[in-house]
Amino acid sequence: MYYIDLAVTGISFGCMYAMMSVGLTLVYGLLRILHVAHAAVFALGAYVTVLVANATGSIGLGFLAAIIVTPLFGMAIYRLLYEPLLKYRPDVPMIASVGLLVLMQDAFRIVFGEQGITFHSNNLAFATYNFSGVTVSAVQIAIVVAAAVVFTGLHLFTTRTRIGIGWRATVSKPQIAASFGIDPIKVRYLNFAVGSALAAIAGGLVALMNNLVDPGIGFVVSYKALAIIVLGGLGSVRGTLIASLVLGLVESYGTIFIGAWLDRDAIAFLALIVLLMIRPQGFTGARTA
């Protein structure tokens, strides 16, 4: 049963990584920027979830608030930080992005303290279910369900609605999309809004899982997410989903096999570097220039 437990852990982490990484890969696909500050959005989502949940007594309202606040923040990052820097090489906005992340992280520490904040009441964090010997926590179920809902919704949105189809077209074929009258600037805002909301959900769920939000919450996850989007072939949503799930499982099992000589959090980068040496273009070989 131990191995199945590991699979459950791996899949739930994989789903969390996926929600975190999709925003990053979309930003990359559209603007060729490594949006490192996405981790700050993730952390903000977690803080808002906890703060609002504690103020209102409803975790659901906490998530709702996070989904409303973070897209605004994400769009503000685009408008105020990236847009003026788009004419420079992608490294320039990336360094600015790293700066913003460091700044936000320290701001969270200063405002909410080194120890972070916890939910006043969080029944989910410790509830577990037993399915014929396999232990599954309520939060793990919530993460997987959230990911399933979110990605099904995203799929329907990008295949069934006019805006969604235009969005997808813009990410993959900007010139063609523009000639069909889709406003590429609006698409950028949409991109940041949706990506940020997904990161916020992931952040809130991690807060639930640990029953804690501390200033470092987004730190390691965010750099792992960078590894994931490269593994997934920068700009590819499907590749990112696959890479997220694979990484979740590899980490979960890898902890037993290589945990003795390598930190769990470094496994993603080991995989990344090995892959890049074999296939410099990433998993799916995206031909982005």
Partner 1 sequence: MSAYEISIISIIGINVILAVSLNMISGFCGQISLGHGAFFGAGAYAAALTMVGCGSVPLAIVAALITGSILGVIVGFASLRVRTDFLAVTTIGVNFLFVGFVRKQAWLGGEMGISGIPATGLGAAGNMTMILLFAAATIALSLYISRSWMGFAFRAVGQDEGAAATLGINSGAYKLAAFGIGTALAGLAGGLYAFFTQFITADAFDFIFSVMLMAMVVIGGIGSTWGVVVAAAGLTLLPEAIRFVNDYRLLVFGGLLVLVIRLAPGGLAAMFQNVFLRTRKP
Q: Which of 4, 51, 75, 107 binds partner 1 (CB under 8 A)?
A: 107
Closest distance of CB 7 from partner 1, Å: 23
Residues 6+ apart with CB under 8 A from 251: 10, 13, 264, 267, 268
Per-residue tokens: 28: 């990359």
CA distance 199 to 18: 9
Burial class (CB in 10 A: 0-12, 13-18, 19+), 115: exposed
Q: Based on CB atoms, which residue is closest to partner 1, 26 or 201?
A: 26
Q: Does 95 bind partner 1 (CB under 8 A)?
A: yes
Closest distance of CB 198 from partner 1, Å: 20
**Cα dihedral angle (202, 206, 207, 211), rounded to 10 degrees?**
160
**Selected range binding partner 1 among 12-20, 143-151, 156-164, 269-277, rule: CB under 8 A:** 269-277
Closest distance of CB 103 from partner 1, Å: 3
Three-class secondary structure assignment of 102-121: HHHHHHHHHHHCCCCECCCC
Q: Does 261 bind partner 1 (CB under 8 A)?
A: yes
Q: Does 111 bind partner 1 (CB under 8 A)?
A: no
The interface with partner 1 within residues 55-84 (CB under 8 A) comprises 80-81, 84
Q: Which of 4, 61, 64, 276 binds partner 1 (CB under 8 A)?
A: 276
In the stretch 226-255, what mask flags binding to partner 1 with x, by CB under 8 A?
xx--x---x---------------------
CA distance 66 to 205: 11
Element (H, E) at 161: none
Q: Based on CB atoms, which residue is closest to partner 1, 140 or 252?
A: 252
The interface with partner 1 within residues 125-164 (CB under 8 A) comprises none
Closest distance of CB 150 from partner 1, Å: 25
CA distance 88 to 111: 34
Q: Which of 7, 102, 134, 165 binds partner 1 (CB under 8 A)?
A: 102
List of residues contacting partner 1 (CB under 8 A)? 32, 34, 80-81, 84-85, 87-96, 98-107, 109-110, 223, 226-227, 230, 234, 259-270, 272-273, 276-277, 280, 282
